[in-house]
Amino acid sequence: MTKEVFFEDIGLTDYKKTWDYQTEIFEKTISQKIHNRNNPSESMPTTNHLIFCEHPHVYTLGKSGQEDHLLLNKEELKTNDISYYKINRGGDITYHGPGQIVGYPIFDLDHFFTDIHKFLRYIEEAVILTLEEYKIKGDRIDGLTGVWIDVDGENPRKICALGIKCSRWVTMHGFAFNVNTDLNLFDNIVPCGISDKAVTSMKKELGREINFQEVKNRLLINLANIFDFEPIVS
């Protein structure tokens, strides 16, 4: 049976505001699951949500990351108008900014499958399929999460980073897919804690500005097909 996922594209939105918003949905979903377990006669189905957005310049450090992977001090962050947050997802440090599709799936995996690794691989596959539509070959590297370009060449480079939090099989946080992203901002960090590999974007790989809305539309279709859900646009 096809699942419903409430989809929102909220555009360019402050990171903290979006974090608070997805946390609210995440906690409400968990509370409903606990209520359903304790009160089966009053059980109400949980809902699934997917948010697309962009953020103003921001660095986020996951709970397993190292602070020295941020190469700017507080004054330099302020001078360059870049925010910085330590957050509760897995992974190390990454950058979010304009021209990057940031996706936050807040899924109750009991509706899909209770397998975090499979969940991450499905997101990667949706990105890989989207890249294929632009004649870019995306791939995986064993032991490293995300989507990469030229994995068998001399210069493997990441085009999509992933980092999530999961509790009671409810997910939050998600992925950052570089479309028209200013890659210079990655020079101020050790991206994902990986110092020997580069970062790229669709714009850099193809040598031209990419239709951002078109990529979002194609990515949503691929996510819906892979996870077998019906997007309910709000």
CA 111 to chain CA centroid, nearest Å: 20
Catalytic residue among 53, 160, 166, 192: 192
Which pair of structure tokens corresponds to residue 192? 């994902």
- Told to judge if 192 belongs to the known catalytic residues of this protein, a careful annotator would answer yes
Which amino acid is located at 54 in the chain? E
- Residue 12, helix vs strand vs coil: strand
| Cα separation, 139 vs 134, whole angstroms | 14
Which pair of structure tokens corresponds to residue 210? 């990419």
> Do the Cβ atoms of 218 and 133 come closer than 8 Å?
yes
Closest CA relative to residue 105, chosen from 214, 220, 211, 218: 220
Helix 116-132 / helix 212-227 crossing angle, nearest 10 deg: 140
* Residues acting as catalytic residues: 192
